Amino acid sequence: QDSTSNILLSSCLLSKNIQNFTYRSNSSSSEYIKLLTFSIQNLRYSLPSNPKPAIIIFPLSEYQLQHAILCLRQSSLTIRVRSGGHSYEGLSYTTSYNYPFGIIDLTNLNRVQVDPSSATAWVEAGATLGEIYYNVAVESNQTLGFPAGSCATIGSGGHISGGGYGFLSRKYGLAADNVLDVTFIDPNGRVLNRSQMDEDVFWAVRGGGGGSWGIVYAWKLRLVPVPNQVTWFNIYKSGLIEPLADLVHKWQDVGPSLPDEFFLSTAISGLWDGNGSVTFTGLYLGPKESAFSILSKRYPELQISESDLEEMSWIETTVKAAWVNSVSDLRNRGTSKNFFKAKSDYVKTPISKEGLIGAIKFLTKETSAYIIFKPYGGVLERIGGTDLPFPHRAGNLYNIQYVIDWTKVEEGMTDKYIAWLRDFYAYMGSFVSKNPRAAYVNYLDLDLGTNNWTAGTSSTVDDVNHARLWGNAYFLWNYDRLVRAKTKIDPENVFNNEQSIPPLSK
């Protein structure tokens, strides 16, 4: 991007009264780096070697967002859009392709308007989940909540675009299942709502993955009732591998089949001394006496006592789940960050006890790694597998997330950590869903394959078939409808990235 192009781009932006933007070349580099990195959640993609945007634009209104798209399209820059910056593979702010790009960053578009009487909210796509939870709880006098993920700094733009699973999902579905309407800006800058857009496109933007279609400016969300007091617990067990494997083996029956009001996940890691640890995290939408009675009956092996259970408001459980200190901290966008790589799987038949023992033993070799089993079942079992792009509904017991994280760059360690995670994933292959081996698009994983846009972004049948590698893993039978939606809304493939849905444009 040379200075003449910058002048043209600036004059386009300024003519639309867009003044919040910063160039890589002419801003003081520390200011530019600060604005670029503040929401980068995976530090693996914040290194000097990662390609950086020529410009970052921070629109303040729907009008400015619309014109940021049009001005970038007039320039030679490719568009990246960023909401909360939590993409596992950095797709909202960097690229492995060699083309110059600009970021439209939605941080300032974070208004949340709650209407308690209709139990709905209009939420700008730059709002974080923490901002949504906070506003919904305050404005509804703690009678309403919203089913979405646990980390407070996740952006609603990327999260809801990929589904959005959380503690309320067994009762109320994914975040995307609760989208009633959308204000969406297409690649030609047209502002469309549900009634103005193609049915396939409204379907695709609710779970077909961010960064493929255009930009969601705002979501209209259905809010859900939450009781005054709910029950929360977090139980840590460590010790010999075999009894822990027994516990997790039983969890596979219990977690996915508890009443819809119950969420019970497990996180497993290995310890250096050759033992293992398992943390059970639970939320029950009701009083602790009922939670205790259900758990004692269904899962006596957990040996829970009533004092392990704590009653609190729903909003306080979001504080616990996000590991922040207070309800007001839910609105704080600055969180701790680290370097990480993650992968995911779905489990349809319980893993044998031997398989689980093998998994925990594997984990004892690398204590920077852990796995999380999140229960499905509940209403997720009863929502159709084609209703939205997210297909992992009936028949799935739980999702596995594999994570390895570290806090500083050390020579050769990144490759070692990632290689370890890939080996572990290979070990787990025989226990999880197959043909295809499924994955969750919000746990983005470029190991599954990438588009090859190095020689331009026009897309052919071969590109569409190649993208099935990951398209089928994330979306199963819904992949072809996503290609249709993409071809309708973005035939020129303006919104593309390493794993965007390719159009059938030739």
What is the 8-class DSSP label of residue 503? P
Asked if 83 touches ligand FDA (CB under 6 A), the answer is: yes
Rounded to 5 degrees, φ, ψ at 251 are -55, -35
Q: Quick one: which segment of 29-37, 158-166, 187-195, 248-256 binds ligand FDA (CB under 6 A)?
A: 158-166
Report d(CA 99, CA 96) in Å as an integer. 9
Report d(CA 435, CA 268) in Å as an integer. 26
Report d(CA 104, CA 93) in Å as an integer. 9
Minimum CB–partner distance for residue 158 and ligand FDA (Å): 2
Site string for ligand FDA, 375-394 (x = CB under 6 A): --------------------
Report d(CA 113, CA 183) in Å as an integer. 14
What is the 8-class DSSP label of residue 296? H
Report d(CA 73, CA 95) in Å as an integer. 17
Report d(CA 336, CA 349) in Å as an integer. 36
Residue among 102, 147, 149, 270 that touches ligand FDA (CB under 6 A): 149
Report d(CA 315, CA 265) in Å as an integer. 19
Identity of residue 247 = L
Q: Which two tokens stand for residue 492?
A: 């020129």
- Tell me whether residue 79 or residue 359 sits nearer to ligand FDA (CB atom): 79
Asked if 81 touches ligand FDA (CB under 6 A), the answer is: yes
Identity of residue 477 = W
Site string for ligand FDA, 90-109 (x = CB under 6 A): -xx-------------x---
Residues paired with 241 in a beta bridge: none
Asked if 182 touches ligand FDA (CB under 6 A), the answer is: no
Q: Quick one: which segment of 131-139, 145-153, 244-252, 412-420 binds ligand FDA (CB under 6 A)?
A: 145-153
Note the helical H segments in 429-478: 461-466, 468-475
Residue among 157, 389, 391, 503 that touches ligand FDA (CB under 6 A): 157
Q: Which residue's beta carbon is nearest to the bound ligand FDA?
A: 210
Asked if 165 touches ligand FDA (CB under 6 A), the answer is: yes
Element at 413 (helix H, strand E): helix 413-428
Rounded to 5 degrees, what angle do the CA atoms 151, 156, 158 make? 95
Element at 201 (helix H, strand E): helix 199-205
Minimum CB–partner distance for residue 79 and ligand FDA (Å): 9
Asked if 41 touches ligand FDA (CB under 6 A), the answer is: yes
Element at 343 (helix H, strand E): strand 339-347
- Tell me whether residue 294 or residue 473 sits nearer to ligand FDA (CB atom): 473
Q: Which two tokens stand for residue 148?
A: 């979405």
Report d(CA 112, CA 146) in Å as an integer. 12
Size of the site for ligand FDA (CB under 6 A): 34
Minimum CB–partner distance for residue 108 and ligand FDA (Å): 13
Asked if 57 touches ligand FDA (CB under 6 A), the answer is: no
Asked if 87 touches ligand FDA (CB under 6 A), the answer is: yes
- Tell me whether residue 174 or residue 245 sits nearer to ligand FDA (CB atom): 174
Identity of residue 156 = S
Residue among 158, 173, 256, 375 that touches ligand FDA (CB under 6 A): 158
Q: Residues near 267 by Cβ (< 8 Å), separated by ≥ 6? A: 278, 279, 281, 370, 371, 372, 373
Active site residue 443: yes
Q: Quick one: which segment of 66-74, 161-169, 296-304, 478-486 binds ligand FDA (CB under 6 A)?
A: 161-169
- Tell me whether residue 187 or residue 270 sits nearer to ligand FDA (CB atom): 187
| Residue in 134, 443, 474, 479 annotated catalytic | 443
Report d(CA 364, CA 361) in Å as an integer. 5
- Tell me whether residue 320 or residue 353 sits nearer to ligand FDA (CB atom): 320
- Tell me whether residue 10 or residue 156 sits nearer to ligand FDA (CB atom): 156
Residue among 54, 137, 168, 215 that touches ligand FDA (CB under 6 A): 215
- Tell me whether residue 442 or residue 451 sits nearer to ligand FDA (CB atom): 442
Beta-sheet pairing, 369-375 with 262-270: antiparallel
Q: Quick one: which segment of 50-58, 210-218, 365-373, 446-454 binds ligand FDA (CB under 6 A)?
A: 210-218
3-class SS letters over 101-131: EEEEECCCCCCEEEECCCCEEEEECCCEHHH
DSSP output for 370-392: EEEEEE--GGGGTS-TTTSS---
Query: What are the C-alpha distances in Å from 240 to residues 280, 364, 419?
Result: 17, 11, 27
Asked if 161 touches ligand FDA (CB under 6 A), the answer is: yes
Asked if 125 touches ligand FDA (CB under 6 A), the answer is: yes
- Tell me whether residue 222 or residue 341 sits nearer to ligand FDA (CB atom): 341
- Tell me whether residue 288 or residue 331 sits nearer to ligand FDA (CB atom): 331
Q: Quick one: which segment of 14-22, 149-157, 253-261, 416-424 binds ligand FDA (CB under 6 A)?
A: 149-157
Q: Quick one: which segment of 28-36, 76-84, 448-456, 459-467 binds ligand FDA (CB under 6 A)?
A: 76-84
Asked if 88 touches ligand FDA (CB under 6 A), the answer is: yes
Binding site for ligand FDA (CB under 6 A): 41, 80-88, 91-92, 106, 125, 149-151, 154-155, 157-159, 161-166, 210-211, 215-216, 442, 497
Q: Where in the sequence numbering do the catalytic residues fall? A: 443
